[in-house]
Amino acid sequence: MWIYEKKLEFPIHITKPDGRLAKIMIEQYGGPDGELGAAVRYLSQKFTMVTPQAKATLNDIATEEMAHLEMMGTIVHQLTQGLTKAQLEEAGLSPYYVNHGFGVYPSAASGIPFNATALQSKGDPLTDLYEDMAAEQKARSTYEYLIDLTDDPDVLAPLRFLREREVVHFQRFGEALDSARDYLNQQHYFFMNQK
Amino acid sequence: MDRNMLMQKLMELDFLAVDLGLFLNTHPDSSEAIAAYNEVIEAADKVRLQYEENFGPLCSFRSYAADPEHWLWERNPWPWQKDANTTMGGKECR
Ligand SMILES: [Fe+2]
């Protein structure tokens, strides 16, 4: 169960419409290392997680990722508000526009729709937590590439915040991995034999 | 305090709570962090109440409907609208 709070995790107010930026920001909404994938990855993996610490970590980071998904959707939405036809065409947004208008649709910057093959749920706590650590690093890299291509301070501020969160999540998943590994080592038998 | 200032204050406090909560999940015996967490929750509760009294409910099925005549939850601005927020552009610390 979730309670919705009627506010963003970090404020976003973008003054200048910018089709070029909207076209690339969608990457972190519905791209392979984006926030939708992050939320679904952790929400799905939590059911077979072993230690209380690691369960809590997956559950709560997944919850924060949903807030990040909302932030990326907000960025795309505000960047497209007030775009003229000429600006839209110049930014190469026409193919997106003919399908979605200015609706926010989970796809990568390349236009490829979100696909669950971007995530894994292996039912093995160590495998899943290693994947999550890698996923946080991939998201951090993507935010850095987006920051490289952004000059609008209204967009940079939330991107920097989101990049920073990936670093923290990576750290927390590392600690969760330690707890899961310690637990499994104490069992003195293979995890699969516990069933 | 105006709406933007209250919202900003609440975002700061709630963020601290989120971050401390994640830390505590993997450091459950840190009494220092637990004390900090409780302090932040208490401060955020006060600001949340102040915000809700003046500008309407923040939490789905948790906040009181303070106005008996009007359901304020549906009112604009929703968080993704520009006028729900001020920009942090140029204000962050590097
Ligand atoms: Fe993350």
Per-residue pLDDT of B49-70, as tens digits, reads 999 999 999 999 999 998 999 9
Distance of CA A24 to the CA centre of its chain: 14
Can you give the pTM of this predicted structure? 0.95
Q: Do A27 and A112 contact (CB within 8 A), yes or no?
A: no
The model's confidence at residue A193, banded by pLDDT at 50, 70 and 90, is low
Cβ-proximal residues to A192 (8 Å cutoff; 6+ apart), any chain: none
Q: Do B77 and B86 contact (CB within 8 A), yes or no?
A: no
Q: Do A30 and A113 contact (CB within 8 A), yes or no?
A: yes
Q: Do A164 and A59 contact (CB within 8 A), yes or no?
A: no
Closest Cα in chain B, distance from residue A186 (Å): 18
Of B19, B62, B79, the CB nearest to A168: B19
Contact B26 A61 (CB under 8 A): no
Q: How far apart are CA A109 and CA A126, in angstroms?
A: 31
Q: Do A170 and A134 contact (CB within 8 A), yes or no?
A: no
Domain segments of chain B: what residues?
3-84
Residue given tokens 């920051």 in the structure block: A147
pLDDT at residue A191 greater than cutoff 80 = no
Which CATH code fits A19-184?
Answer: 1.20.1260.10
Q: Which tokens hold the place of B30?
A: 């840190």
For residue A52, give the chain B residue with the closest CA. Answer: B25
Predicted pLDDT at A187: 77
Predicted pLDDT at A189: 56
Ligand 1 (ion): which residues have CB within 5 A?
A: A 166, 169
User: Which amino acid belongs to residue A122?
Assistant: K
pLDDT, tens digit (0-9, with 9 covering 90-100), for A109-128 = 999 999 999 999 999 999 99
Distance A169 CA to ligand 1 centre (A): 5
pLDDT at residue A145 greater than cutoff 90 = yes
Question: What does chain A come to in residues?
Answer: 195
